[in-house]
Amino acid sequence: MNILVVGSGAREHALCWVIAKSPLADRLYCAPGNAGIAHVATCLDVGVDDTPGLLAACRDHAIDFVVVGPEGPLVDGLADALAQAGIKVFGPSAAAAILEGSKGFMKDLCAQYGIPTAAYGRFTDAIAAKDFIARTGAPVVVKADGLAAGKGVIIAETVPDAHAAVDNILGGQFGEAGAELVIEEFMDGEEASFFALCDGTNVLPLAGAQDYKRVGDGDQGPNTGGMGAYSPAPVLDAAMATRVMAEIIRPTVAAMTAEGRPYQGVLYAGLMITADGPKLIEYNVRFGDPECQVLMARLASDLVPALMACADGGLDTITLDWKDEAALCVVMAANGYPGAYDKGSVIKNLDAADAMADVTVFHAGTATQDAATIATGGRVLGVTALGSTIAAAQQNTYAAVDLINWPGGFCRRDIGWRALDR
């Protein structure tokens, strides 16, 4: 079977890395890929948003199965276009991807089907939004309804901050994504990421993970796409995972089917584990990045049959085994990220880090130039290692990070602290 992975991040590198090992994969392609992905797949120069180009690539390379990494093309209907062309695809239809594409849709679904989440209101009008804020008080969370590259969420500590967020978002800060607002009660607790594969009917839970969204040590500074992650997440023990499946994931999958939007793909629940139990913060319709890197490092089974079952049905016949070891990923980013960052700096000694036992360096924003690896993006590398415990995985990961010679980049030095503090 010929397989095409769509995307260019470390998440897609991790997916290609496991898919390349599958006996089911004859040829593996990635569009557009990056310098690291080029070691395990043939990279095609087609962007993730270029649907006609992706369809043409599928024809040219006799692709049997497409695995879509990022949310943007899913929300825009890439899975539908591929299915219409008769190509099997891992990833939800646009009708189902609305779970991530519209926070308002997700909140209304939760309200209608009794899925635990923060109390909320939906607004297109600033006066009504500020009325709601007057009643809830601060802290309060103001969100743009649509996709805003992870930046459309403002945790307002004061009422004036909340008002400013309302005015900025409705004033066009996030374009069309901010034409509508969701305002939410602030939930206190510990965050965790939960992943489940779905075929529209059956649900297969994957391992849990936690990520680190802030750019700086001690969870300081602005939010990013994610600066590190580990799996398993101690806060998501077996009992909590059972609750999450029963109270959140299964009711959502059933609700989506009842709404005529059967969910097929990976469902990523961003959770707050509160004193009252697990509550949903948000849904994503794709794997987390960097959570995918630690999940793939721990996976002991062939992923391809499970991904195909999401498209074909029959997920109830699939089991996935996980290594007992913990995995931890540290993201190395270009200096300046998540603001304006430098491009083109040279990264040296990657091979030495990658050659360490139980270490894999997943690439995100990299390219090859004159035989050197250069940084081309904000998040550039996801250095990932296994260990018998999270502490051991952390030690191995930072030993690998310290071998990499890249003055143009930085990383957090404290990934894993939340688990180690417990």
Q: Which residues bind ligand AMP (CB under 6 A)?
A: 118, 141, 150, 153, 155, 184, 186-187, 191, 213, 270, 281-282
Scanning 270-389, the segments in alpha helix (DSSP H) are 291-298, 304-312, 350-355
Kindly identify the residues of this chain, within the stretch 47-76, that bind ligand GLY according to CB under 6 A: none
Tell me how far apart the alpha carbons of residues 249 and 242 are, in angstroms, rounded to a whole number: 10
Q: Which is nearer to ligand GLY, 202 or 284 (CB)?
A: 284
Read off the DSSP letter of residue 398: H
Mode of pairing for the β-strands spanning 65-68 and 203-205: unpaired
| Displacement of CA 148 from its chain's centroid (Å) | 14
Residues near 24 by Cβ (< 8 Å), separated by ≥ 6?
1, 302, 304, 305, 308
Q: Candidates 180, 199, 291, 302: give the one binding ligand GLY (CB under 6 A).
A: 291
Query: Cβ(102)–Cβ(177) under 8 Å?
Result: no
Tell me how far apart the alpha carbons of residues 133 and 236 are, in angstroms, rounded to a whole number: 32
At closest approach, how far in Å is the CB of 198 from ligand AMP?
Answer: 20
Amino acid, res. 305 = P
At closest approach, how far in Å is the CB of 82 from ligand AMP?
Answer: 27
**Backbone dihedral angles phi then psi of residue 267, each to the nearest 5 degrees:** -105, 120
- Among ligand AMP, ligand GLY, none, residue 282 binds (CB under 5-8 Å by kind): ligand AMP
Asked whether position 289 contacts ligand GLY by CB under 6 A, the answer is yes
Give the pair of three-digit tokens for residue 73. Answer: 């093309």
Asked whether position 284 contacts ligand GLY by CB under 6 A, the answer is yes
Question: Which secondary-structure segment (H or E) carries 181?
Answer: strand 181-185
Q: Which is nearer to ligand AMP, 118 or 235 (CB)?
A: 118
Kindly identify the residues of this chain, within the stretch 131-150, that bind ligand GLY according to CB under 6 A: 150
- Scanning the structure block, which residue is given the tokens 């995995």? 327
Q: Which is nearer to ligand AMP, 187 or 203 (CB)?
A: 187
- Among ligand AMP, ligand GLY, none, residue 184 binds (CB under 5-8 Å by kind): ligand AMP
- Among ligand GLY, ligand AMP, none, residue 269 binds (CB under 5-8 Å by kind): none
At closest approach, how far in Å is the CB of 355 from ligand GLY?
Answer: 27
- Among ligand AMP, ligand GLY, none, residue 187 binds (CB under 5-8 Å by kind): ligand AMP
Residues at the contact surface with ligand GLY, assessed by CB under 6 A: 150, 211, 226, 284, 288-289, 291
